[in-house]
């Protein structure tokens, strides 16, 4: 990676980070073919369904 850009928009409540580094592969995860890698990273990783236990 040789550049990084951070944009903070307080009015919209958004933070955008861009860089020219290696991207995240958009393919299905080898251990579970029903989930894509970006979904695993941004949506499932470090979550649990045991909150009511």
- In the chain, at which residue ranges do the beta strands (DSSP E only) sit? 4-9, 14-19, 28-29, 32-36
Half-sphere exposure of 36 (CA within 13 A, CB side): 7
Rounded CA gap, 11 and 6, in Å? Answer: 16
pLDDT tens digits in sequence order for the chain, 53 residues long: 899 999 999 999 999 999 999 888 899 988 888 889 888 888 876 666 666 65
d(CA 18, CA 6): 7
* Predicted local distance difference test score (pLDDT) of residue 25: 84
- Output the furthest CA–CA distance in the chain (Å, rounded): 46
């Amino acid at each position: 990676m040789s550049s990084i850009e951070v944009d903070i928009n307080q009015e919209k409540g958004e933070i955008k980070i861009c860089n020219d580094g290696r991207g995240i592969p958009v393919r299905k995860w080898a251990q579970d073919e029903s989930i894509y890698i970006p979904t695993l990273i941004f949506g499932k990783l470090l979550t649990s369904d045991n909150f009511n236990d």
